[in-house]
Amino acid sequence: MAGAPWSAGTSPCDGDTSTWAGVLCSKGNVLGLQLEKMGLSGKLDLAPLKSLTGLRTLSFMDNEFAGAMPDVKDLGGLRAIFLSGNKLSGEIPADAFAGMGWLKKVYLSRNSFTGAIPTSLAAVPRLLDLQLNDNKFTGKIPDFPQKDLKMLDVSNNELEGEIPASLKSIEPQMFEGNKKLCGAPVEAKCEPPTTAVSPPTTSPTTTSGKVGTSPSPPAATADATTTTTGTVPAEEGTQGATKPTKGSTSFGVLAAFLGTLAIIGFAVVALQRRREYNTQNFGPTASTKPSLPSAPQSPAKAAHVAAATVTGGRSSSVSGSTAARSSKAGEQGRLTFVRDDRGRFFELQDLLKATAEVLGGGASLGVCYRATLTGGHSVVVKRFKEMNRVGKEDFEEHMRRLGRLSHPNLLPLVSYYYRKEEKLLIHDYVPNKSLAHLLHGEGRAIKKAVVHWTTRLKLVKGVARALQYLYDELPMLTVPHGHLKSSNILLNDRFEPLLTDYSLVPVMNQSHSAQLMVAFKSPERKQFGRSSKKSDVWCLGILILEILTGRPPSYEAAKQSSDQPPSPPQSENDLAGLVASTPEGEWLEKVVDADLKKEDEEGKEEMVKLIKIGMACCEAAVDSRWELKTAVERIEELKGKEDANDEYSYYSSIDGDDFANVAIN
């Protein structure tokens, strides 16, 4: 192996050349560790490596390491983890890989791992190669939705149940040695379920503290109650890291790591951070009776009660045959799917038996749950009670209209459920967070991501295109979106925007809409009591300023019209007022997010142009406010760096925060 032994007083890297054995270097930064077939033993503690922001790959293959799975999720910049051929054992926590948004290769084969395959692997957006063969994993294979997943090897384990449809293209030999697996691509046929009775609440899926059994918990947006933290990686090779010299941080970190291994003989057990999450069966439990709670309900209990409400207030599960004999139960128990490109891959009873997690609440339009179905696929169920202004026929017609919408920057509606008292809207679960979380983090103690100009411009362009699409497809609506804000913009696996909670004004109660929907905070609504075709444009303007300033907006303060002298902002979050009261020549210094001040001059010129577009969209006077078409055309003219299509240009390090799970609020 190239390189000299690790020794004090020397640097591990000299440009692209490694001076220490097993260290991979790039431009003076430590890129990876490759300590293979060296007879190393003991337990792995990776905590000393957390300061290496440029670390991209770790390989300890074919050694004698024992003990639990090391805590890798704090090394959020990793692209590859190779731990095959050791003596690692025990259950892997379900959230072991949460927040690892850049991870592509995971090799855990030829160990002695037990328990369920950690479901957080299914939420790793860039996963290409997963090797779990020759272990003792049990339970079902999670649904892996990653389109780029090329290799998955789970052979020679103790897995059971139906292989998810998302893995039907995987070679059959990748599933060999699991006698109880069935379905495509193996030849064994799956036995049909014998009963539709919900599992008891004491099943493993309801105990969030047990490792390997509950789904990887999503981090919530600014309106939600739980978070998952990790690290967003630096740009490949160099971004976020400084060039080490003698006595540098890289040397100190690696020396500490080596010292840990040598002095205590790998005796430090990897830290396994656990959090409690609100998880419970989405449906009512068998043989229980409803009772009024004597104390405020927990979010998990709320999910339980919500599901009981969907079934008409009944507290016990009903078998499929019994439900079929009741026409009323049959009417209440059927979902309506609205997309031609999607089949009926679950029913209401599947939701009632699913594990549920409360994702958001507060000032959102409805209570939101993540339901993890039996096969591992997750959907988001949003429960509305403020949709009683329209009858069933009009409601269903509008849902069919939404089901026909198709745009790369819209989160599509999958299905819905109608009852007079409440409605459910069901979408796919998106394993990333919202734009609000990206821009603002989650609380004062947690730093936000560093988002570059080119990425912010791409986000603005994606939102503008989706909004224009809604205007084109739904010209009959005065306000085609109605609730455009950063917490309602999710990010897909390429960190492109997905608009949610759109086009619901026609089916919402007016009083509820006026209280919560941001389009109803527009100046014309406040002045004249009615919205206009430009209300969404006002929301777009506020969003543009939020993206550029990095500050959360206040929708209670509106900018004065251009014929009035600018006044000081009414609050620090009155973004339009802040810009209006600041001379244009000082925008880059006093208005623009500090993270953007290091951009080149060309980028700064484009930022000023976008601020002007945002202000033109925020005009309090409707007649002076730009038309959406004009705003979109001007936004499309703006330019970012040509090389920004590379995935590593999206984010630099954010010092310990993850960005891989999304919660809808």
Phi then psi dihedrals of residue 182, to 5 deg: -145, 170
Q: How far is the C-alpha of 54 from the C-alpha of 34, rounded, in Å?
A: 15
Query: pLDDT at position 461, please?
Result: 96
pLDDT attached to residue 448: 59
Considering only CA atoms, which of 242, 282, 265, 347 is closest in space to residue 11?
242
Q: Is 402 helix (H, G, I), strand (E, B) or coil?
A: helix
Contact residues for 518 (Cβ-Cβ < 8 A; gap 6+): 482, 483, 484, 485, 539, 542, 555
Task: Indicate whether 312 pLDDT > 60.
Answer: no
Of 605, 624, 615, nearest to 546 (Cα)? Answer: 615
Domains parsed from the chain with CATH numbers:
13-197+230-263 (3.80.10.10), 279-428 (3.30.200.20), 453-649 (1.10.510.10)
Model confidence over 45-81: pLDDT tens digits? 888 888 787 888 899 999 999 999 999 988 878 999 9
For residue 484, name the pLDDT band (cuts at 50, 70, 90): very high
Sheet holding 57-59, edge to edge: 23-26, 29-34, 57-59, 80-82, 105-107, 129-131, 151-153
List the beta bridge partners of residue 18.
13
Identify the burial level of 536 via C-beta atoms within 10 angstroms of its C-beta, where 0-12 means exposed, 13-18 middle and 19 or more buried. buried
Q: How many CA atoms lie within 13 A of 343 on its CB side?
A: 2
Decide which of 320 and 95 is more confident.
Answer: 95
Tell me: pLDDT of 219 over 70.
no
Task: Give per-residue pLDDT as tens, 362-377.
Answer: 446 778 888 888 777 8
Asked if the model's pLDDT at residue 320 lies above 80, the reply is: no
pLDDT in tens, 127-139: 989 999 999 999 9
84, 206, 661 from 110: Cα distances, Å: 6, 30, 29
193 Cβ neighbours under 8 A, 6+ residues apart = none
For 147-186, write each residue's pLDDT tens digit. Answer: 888 889 999 999 999 999 888 788 888 898 998 899 877 8
Name the amino acid, one letter, at 399.
M
Q: Looking at residue 584, what is its pLDDT?
A: 92
